Each structure stands twice: as C-alpha cells, then as structure tokens.
Amino acid sequence: MSPVISILDYPKPKQVQTNADRIRAVSDEELADLMMGLVDLDDQINYCQNLPECDELLETEDGIPEHKCRDCLLKWLRQPAKEDSE
C-alpha cells in the first residue's frame, strides 16, 4: 500500500502580520494607553462618563488625573458599538 498524502500534511504558508493586524491584536488596556497618547482624543471620541467626582476634580489645581480618563476610555471601548445614523 502506498501512503496517502493529504493537503493537510503540507506546511501552511506563513501569514505576514500587517501593522493593522498588530493593532487589532492588542488588549483593551493597551489600546486605551495608545489612544490616551493621541492629541485631543476627548474632542474626537465621546468616551467621557461625566462622573460627579470628576466635576469636583475640575475645580482643583491638579484637575482630573489621567487614570480616571483612561478608566472611562476603557469602559467606552468595552461597550457595544453604536451604528452610524447617516
């Protein structure tokens, strides 16, 4: 008997990972960190949760700590996407 060779026995071609693939593969936390580094992100994406404690922090000299904004951004990233209504 001759051995049967299947297409599954052949090595699969290596897929080249694109930059977009790498971005899609990051965790929510990594994506939030990347997005926090963008200039004027809060003007582009409405992720702010308008927390009462943030209103109080706005009145302080230090303002709202970045980790609070990152927490709101993470919450926004984990919400179901809203469809555009154009």
Please, which pLDDT band fits residue 9 given cuts at 50, 70 and 90? Answer: low
pTM, full prediction = 0.66
Contact 45, 76 (CB under 8 A): yes
- Note the pLDDT tens digit of each residue in 21-68: 888 999 999 999 988 887 666 666 788 888 888 888 988 999 888 899
Please, which pLDDT band fits residue 6 given cuts at 50, 70 and 90? Answer: low
Residue with the larger pLDDT of the pair 2 and 18: 18
